[in-house]
Each structure stands twice: as structure tokens, then as C-alpha cells.
């Protein structure tokens, strides 16, 4: 990337942060609410139903909001019969975004689903993520009670380019400081992390052309995964990254 390109991104990034400082938009959530959030559609619908059944077996009764990209993803049997029986409901993202929005990729749905969720405290999970413990255990204990954002590590070390730190005027952290993030499960308080959620949405909106390549540099798993901690870090907001590394329980040939 040219120096002029970096300077342009630096200026637009700073203007966005200043705009949220001067006039923070009102977040869409019900005060005191808590729930599960996911995005699904197409081939991921059956996986989501299995995931939701698994979490119900833990004793968790939290409601779930399932975000669909558009009405084309709507499946009558699942949306009208299966989801309500599991205390879940579907929400169509295009009703918020309108028809004039640029086409979105699957990695961009996550931050938008969290942004438009009605829950103040939420656990976002990918459709193929299967919680084996009741998520309330995390909501009701440290480190969530003091940090309000809890993420989990991925297999790989962080691959964020120094260009990002040039854009955000931050010192480059040590490579060993934290792993890349596995964003298939994120605990978040929207009340406490309004600005970082907005900034991560900014990163994801401009992700495919700009921020995703800067964050991944061609490493495995390019997408939204590092946008959430990056946003919290640049805004000096609290977060907690689980220190226990990810481990495999098998392999698929």
C-alpha cells in the first residue's frame, strides 16, 4: 500500500472515531436483557439447529436471535416452527440495511448481527459452534463482569500488518502478546462496548477491500476475526482474551 493510501485510511479512521466521540449513536438493545446471537442461512441452518439443541441441553434458557442476510435465506419450517420451539426467532438484516447497501460477504454479518441485536449482553456464536456449558456461567462471573468483552484464541499467531498500527497510531505489540482471535464465539456487553462495536463494524464494512487483507496478510482464516479486539484496543476499552490455547479433539480426512 502506498504512503498516500495509508494516510487516507489514517484520516478516515480518525474521523470515524471522532464522530463516535462527538455524537455516539443510540444502541439498539433492551436494557438488562441477555441472549444468544447467531447468523445463519442456506447450508448453515441445520448446523444452527443442532448447535441450539446442544446449548439447550446445558440448561441454558436464554433467547436466541438468528440473523438472516435477506428474505432469500428464510426457510418456513425452520423459521416458523423449529426456532420458536427452541426460544429463538429470526431477524432479516436487509430490513435494517435497505436495498441500497453494498452486497455483503458472510464475514460482515457478524458485527451487524451484534449491532442490531436487541440484547444488552450477548454471546455471539457461529452456526457450527456448540457450547457445552451454560453461557450464563460466563456472564455471571469474572472476567466478563469487569472486562465486558471476552474472546477466544485461534490456532495461529496474530498476523496483523504494521500498516494497521500506522493507520491507528499505535505501537506495534509483541508477536507473543496474543493469538489471533477465533471469532466464532464472543461474549459482549453492548452497554459497555458501544464504541468498539461500532468501530469493529466499520472495520468489517470496509473489510474485504481494506482491513481484512491488512489484518491477515494472506494468513489462514482471513475475515472478521481480529476486528473486535483491534477495535477495543485502539479505543483503550477493556477486554479479556482466554489464555488457554485451542486444542483439537480429532481430525477429518
Domain residue limits at 48: 3-241
Is residue 194 assigned to a domain? yes
Question: Listing from the earlier edge strand, what are the strands of the sheet with 88-92?
Answer: 88-92, 64-68, 30-39, 119-125, 179-189, 149-157, 240-241
Is residue 253 assigned to a domain? no
> What is the rounded CA–CA span in Å between residue 240 and residue 51?
24
pTM exceeds 0.85 = yes
Which residue in 223, 205, 18, 194 sits closest to 115, CA to CA? 194
Is residue 106 assigned to a domain? yes
Is residue 80 assigned to a domain? yes
Query: What does the DSSP assignment read for 187-235?
Result: EEETTT-HHHHHHHHHHHHTIIIIIHHHHHTT-TT-SSTTHHHHHHHHT
Domain total of the chain:
1
> What is the rounded CA–CA span in Å between residue 30 and residue 40?
23
Is residue 226 assigned to a domain? yes
Per-residue tens of pLDDT for the chain, all 253 residues: 899 999 999 999 999 999 999 998 888 899 999 999 999 988 899 999 999 999 999 999 999 999 998 898 999 999 999 999 999 999 999 888 876 556 788 789 999 999 999 999 999 999 999 999 999 999 999 999 999 999 999 988 888 999 999 999 999 988 778 889 999 999 999 999 999 999 999 999 999 999 999 999 987 778 898 999 999 999 999 999 999 888 888 777 7
Assign residue 40 the CATH number of its domain: 3.90.550
pLDDT at 234: 96
Which residue in 22, 6, 25 sits closest to 168, CA to CA? 6
Which residue in 96, 90, 53, 51 sits closest to 73, CA to CA? 90
Is residue 248 assigned to a domain? no
Contact 207, 224 (CB under 8 A): yes
Contact 69, 100 (CB under 8 A): no
Is residue 246 assigned to a domain? no
Is residue 234 assigned to a domain? yes
pLDDT at 51: 96
> What is the rounded CA–CA span in Å between residue 166 and residue 172?
9
Amino acid at each position: 500500500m502506498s504512503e498516500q493510501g495509508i494516510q487516507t485510511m489514517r484520516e478516515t479512521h480518525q474521523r470515524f472515531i471522532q464522530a463516535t466521540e462527538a455524537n455516539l449513536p443510540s444502541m439498539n438493545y433492551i436494557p438488562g436483557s441477555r441472549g444468544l446471537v447467531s447468523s445463519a442461512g442456506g447450508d448453515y441452518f441445520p448446523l444452527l439447529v443442532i448447535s441450539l439443541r446442544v446449548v439447550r441441553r446445558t440448561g441454558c434458557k436464554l433467547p436466541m436471535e438468528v440473523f438472516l442476510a435477506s428474505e432469500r435465506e428464510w426457510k418456513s419450517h425452520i423459521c416458523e416452527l423449529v426456532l420458536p420451539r427452541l426460544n429463538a426467532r429470526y431477524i432479516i438484516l436487509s430490513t435494517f440495511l435497505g436495498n441500497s447497501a453494498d452486497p455483503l460477504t458472510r464475514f460482515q454479518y457478524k458485527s451487524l448481527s451484534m449491532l442490531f441485536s436487541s440484547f444488552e449482553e450477548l454471546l455471539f456464536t457461529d452456526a457450527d459452534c456448540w457450547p457445552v456449558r451454560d453461557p450464563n456461567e460466563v456472564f455471571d462471573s469474572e472476567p466478563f463482569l469487569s472486562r465486558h468483552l471476552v474472546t477466544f484464541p485461534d490456532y495461529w499467531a496474530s498476523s496483523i500488518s504494521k500498516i494497521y498500527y500506522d493507520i491507528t497510531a499505535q505501537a506495534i505489540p509483541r508477536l507473543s502478546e496474543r493469538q489471533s482471535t477465533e471469532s466464532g464465539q464472543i461474549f459482549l456487553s453492548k452497554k459497555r462496548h458501544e464504541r468498539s462495536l461500532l468501530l469493529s463494524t466499520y472495520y468489517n464494512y470496509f473489510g474485504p477491500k481494506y482491513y481484512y487483507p491488512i489484518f491477515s496478510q494472506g494468513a489462514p482464516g482471513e475475515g472478521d476475526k481480529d476486528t473486535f479486539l483491534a477495535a477495543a484496543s485502539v479505543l483503550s476499552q477493556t477486554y479479556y482474551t482466554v489464555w488457554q490455547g485451542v486444542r483439537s479433539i480429532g481430525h477429518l480426512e
